[in-house]
Amino acid sequence: MIPARRYTWLVLALAALSFCASSAPFVLGRDGPGPPRHTSIRGAEVLLHGAGPYRHMPADVAVQGLAQDVVTLAVGVPFLLLALVWARRGARCGHLALTGAVGYLFVQYFMYLAMATYNELFLVWVAFVLLSSQTLFRLLLTVSPAAFAIDVSVLQRRYVGGFLLLNGGLIALLWLQVIVPPLLDGSLYPAGLSHFTTMIVQAFDLALFLPLSLSAGFAYLRRRPFGDLLAPVYAVFVSLQMLALLAKIVWMSAIGLSAGPALVIIAALLVGAIVAAVLALLPHRTARLS
């Protein structure tokens, strides 16, 4: 059976849960006392968002969650459903695109479980991470990586593989630039730590998600079946993720926070990711899964 047909109910459940979870902050957005100030355990004064499910989050972090929710509603969920239709027809491109879309939503709510303060959406997020992880692993493991091995031009392979290596390396350097200087000067706590207990996004990126980008890029350049499967999936995922990051930066700039060089870097990575996704999917456009 075509894998996407077997897991259609899981994907539809993910779309419904994601729609509910992403729209809830806007429906419940006025519930709360307004932006209060909070003193962290390190003595730093933190302005909280003060409304909706993100009410106990720092104000600058809460707007990032709202921006990601908008991208998920406007692009993530529709793309997931379109990719499902495409994959159900047996298109190998559709299977890869669907896997990348599920990966984006999995990472989004995986981060929410770890980073967002406890709120009324907690069990929804738990259910989503449970279902999305099962769907993602099944989509990745149901078909052998050897089925995705394909001839790709040297230029395409170098661009896609090189971009994934650049993405992993550049974001890792950006995070280390935040983390390492305080360790060296003895201040220890990075700027932006706010009232969080640790650098959550940076931790998961450096330990889990960026190494995947590096290994996918390396395997794709070396023409390994694992790379031919993972590189297109990761390119789709990172395209959606960079769109969400760009939306976060734009929203932060709109409320008066400085974006710095991140605005240019993320915009460039978004364009590069979309090109990489197109180039990685194109060789599979006429291939089918049975």
Q: At what angle do helices 262-281 and 154-185 cross, to 10 degrees?
A: 150
Residue 31 is predicted with a pLDDT of: 62
* Residue 147 located in a structural domain: yes
Residue 195 is predicted with a pLDDT of: 85
Residue 261 is predicted with a pLDDT of: 76
Q: At what angle do helices 59-71 and 92-115 cross, to 10 degrees?
A: 160
* Residue 289 located in a structural domain: no
* Residue 290 located in a structural domain: no
Per the structure, the count of domains in the chain is: 1
Distance CA(121)–CA(128), nearest Å, equals 11
Question: Phi first, then psi: what are they for 150, rounded to 5°?
Answer: -155, 150
Model pTM score: 0.94
Residue 33 is predicted with a pLDDT of: 67
**Is residue 2 classed as helix, strand or coil in its secondary structure?**
coil
Residue 1 is predicted with a pLDDT of: 67
Residue 181 is predicted with a pLDDT of: 95
- Per the listing, tokens 């395409």 go with 156
Question: pLDDT digit string (tens) for 64-119?
Answer: 999 999 999 999 999 999 999 999 999 999 999 999 999 999 999 999 999 999 99
Residue 110 is predicted with a pLDDT of: 97
Residue 253 is predicted with a pLDDT of: 86
Strands (E), the chain: 37-39, 45-47
CA of residue 236 relative to chain centroid, distance: 10
List, for the chain, all residue ranges whose pLDDT scores fall below the cut of 70.
1, 30-34, 259, 290
* Residue 273 located in a structural domain: yes
Distance CA(159)–CA(220), nearest Å, equals 10
Q: Is 220 exposed, middle or buried (0-12, 13-18, 19+ CB in 10 A)?
A: buried
Please name which of 91, 87, 101 lies closest in space to residue 5, comparing C-alpha atoms. Answer: 87
Phi-psi region at 144: left, alpha or beta (left = phi > 0; alpha = psi -120 to 50)? beta
- Residues 52, 28: contact at Cβ < 8 Å? yes
* Residue 160 located in a structural domain: yes
Residue 37 is predicted with a pLDDT of: 84
- Residues 11, 78: contact at Cβ < 8 Å? no
Q: What is the mean pLDDT of the chain?
A: 92
Domain that holds residue 13: 3-284
Q: Please, what sign has the CA dihedral across residues 63, 69, 73, 76?
A: positive
